[in-house]
Every structure is written in structure tokens, then in C-alpha cells.
């Protein structure tokens, strides 16, 4: 199976034009990379304004809601599905920490994403956070291990400790996230045994993100 590299743009950039420029630069740089699947997760507002002509470059959302109807401000998994989106990040630590997202809410979101036939990327920073994910569908859920201490700080998590976490997470597809850059990207796949990466800060710098993709694509 191909390695998966998710770009989490968070609340960036501040214009659709900026998002298009960033997306096009990444698309150009990775168009010959066949060994990786790349998923760009921009803010909701830009999803329909970005189009990929490359089969291994997909779009994902950074969150979703579990129902349609009277939920002001929300975007449901059904809307995402009907807009051609394939992947949805759920339970990012910034949402858990800053926006009060609870385990119960995250569990409902994962179920809704699965019901819509999309692929959930469940972000966890410890093993107890997996317990609310639906049972019996491990192969349909992508886990992203993101130690909070390593997110957005440019201080990557110790590779040996990451390896231990990978071994403890009994799911077939697990990503590492937290201060990933071109210098450490290969270590988390090759040494720690992850199946892919979730990249925040470095995904906003096209040359650096392309380098990460190429380094992973060059692994045998
Ligand atoms: P970072 O963010 O790469 O900037 O550490 C990762 C994330 O928050 O998903």
C-alpha cells in the first residue's frame, strides 16, 4: 500500500488565490511521485475552489459534523461526500484543546464519516483516545498519532518513543504527525514503522512539502 501524506493547512492561507497558488505549486512538484498518496486538507471554504488533475493528489477536510439540519455553522460528512472529498481529519488536538471537542463528539463524527463512505483520519495523542472509535472496522479508520508536545513547535518527537507507540496502536494504517519536516520524515516511516505522515507547518512551504513527499517516495 502507498504511504499516505496528509497536509493539514489549518486556518491558512487567508485568500483563495493564495490557496490555489500553494496547491498548484505542490501539484507541479509531486506530479511524478507514484509511490505516495497526498491529501491536501485546506479550510472548508477553499475545498471547491481547488481541483486536482493528478490521481495521487486528493482533497480532505479538517473536520466535519455528524448530521445535516439545524446546526448553524457546521458542515456535514454528507456534504463533504457530495462535494467529492475523500478524507476527513477528526479529533485534531487543536479542536480537542481549544474548542472543547469531546470523545463523545469525536466518536459521533467518526461514525458519520464512515456512514458517508469517507475515510476518517482520527488524531490521537494517547491510547485512551482510540477507545471511542467504532469497533470491527479498523481497516477503514486511519489513525494519526500526534503527540501534543510536538505539534507546531518544530521539535519532533523522539523516533524510538514514536516506534513504541506505533507498535502499541493495533490498527493497520497509522500516521505520525508533529513537527514533521524533510529532515525527519523518513525516520518515522523507516525506523518507527508508520504508514504515513500528517504535516502541518511544513505543508505551507511548497518546497519543503515537496521534499518530504519525494523523500518518502524514494524509500523502498
Ligand atoms: P505541525 O502540525 O506539523 O506544524 O507540527 C501537525 C498537526 O497539527 O497536524
pLDDT higher than 80, residue 93: yes
Q: Is the CB of 198 under 6 A from ligand 1?
A: yes
Distance 81 CA to ligand 1 centre (A): 25
Contacts of 15 by beta carbon, 8 Å cutoff, 6+ apart: none
pLDDT higher than 90, residue 219: no
Q: Is the CB of 154 under 6 A from ligand 1?
A: no
Q: Is the CB of 124 under 6 A from ligand 1?
A: no
Distance 142 CA to ligand 1 centre (A): 16
Could you give the 3-state DSSP secondary structure of residue 7?
A: strand
> Which pLDDT score, from 0 to 100, does residue 1 have?
79
pLDDT higher than 80, residue 220: no
Closest C-alpha to 29, from 219, 208, 218, 220 = 208
Average pLDDT over residues 106-126: 97
Active site residue 146: yes
DSSP string of 69-92?
A: SS-TT--BHHHHHHTT--EEEE--
Closest C-alpha to 89, from 55, 56, 47 = 47
What whole-number distance in Å separates Cα of residue 35 and Cα of residue 29? Answer: 14
Q: Is the CB of 175 under 6 A from ligand 1?
A: no
CB 128 within 8 A of CB 169: no
Q: Which atom of ligand 1 is nearest to the CA of 179?
A: 5
Active site residue 94: no
**Peptide bond connecting 135 to the previous residue in cis, omega within 30 degrees of 0:** no
pLDDT higher than 90, residue 218: no
pLDDT in tens, 164-192: 999 999 999 999 999 999 999 999 999 99
> Which pLDDT score, from 0 to 100, does residue 26 have?
97
Average pLDDT over residues 135-164: 95
Amino acid at each position: 500500500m502507498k504511504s499516505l501524506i496528509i497536509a493539514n493547512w489549518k486556518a491558512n492561507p487567508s485568500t483563495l488565490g493564495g490557496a490555489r497558488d500553494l496547491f498548484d505549486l505542490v501539484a507541479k512538484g509531486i506530479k511524478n511521485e507514484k509511490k505516495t498518496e497526498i491529501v491536501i486538507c485546506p479550510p472548508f471554504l477553499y475545498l471547491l475552489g481547488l481541483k486536482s488533475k493528478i490521481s495521487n493528489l486528493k482533497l480532505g477536510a479538517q473536520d466535519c459534523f455528524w448530521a445535516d439540519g439545524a446546526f448553524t455553522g457546521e458542515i456535514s460528512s454528507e456534504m463533504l461526500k457530495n462535494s467529492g472529498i475523500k478524507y476527513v481529519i477528526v479529533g485534531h488536538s487543536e479542536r480537542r484543546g481549544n474548542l472543547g471537542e469531546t470523545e463523545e463528539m469525536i466518536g459521533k463524527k467518526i461514525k458519520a464519516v464512515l456512514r458517508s463512505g469517507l475515510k476518517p483520519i482520527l488524531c490521537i495523542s494517547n491510547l485512551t483516545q482510540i477507545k471511542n472509535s467504532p469497533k470491527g472496522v479498523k481497516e477503514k479508520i486511519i489513525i494519526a498519532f500526534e503527540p501534543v508536545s510536538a505539534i507546531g513547535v518544530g521539535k519532533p518527537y523522539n523516533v524510538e518513543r514514536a516506534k513504541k507507540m506505533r507498535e502499541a496502536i493495533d490498527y493497520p494504517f497509522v500516521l505520525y504527525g508533529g513537527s514533521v519536516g524533510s529532515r525527519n520524515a523518513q525516520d518515522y516511516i523507516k525506523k518507527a514503522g508508520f504508514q504515513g505522515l500528517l504535516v502541518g507547518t511544513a505543508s505551507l512551504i511548497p518546497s519543503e512539502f515537496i521534499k518530504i513527499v519525494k523523500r518518502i517516495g524514494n524509500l523502498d
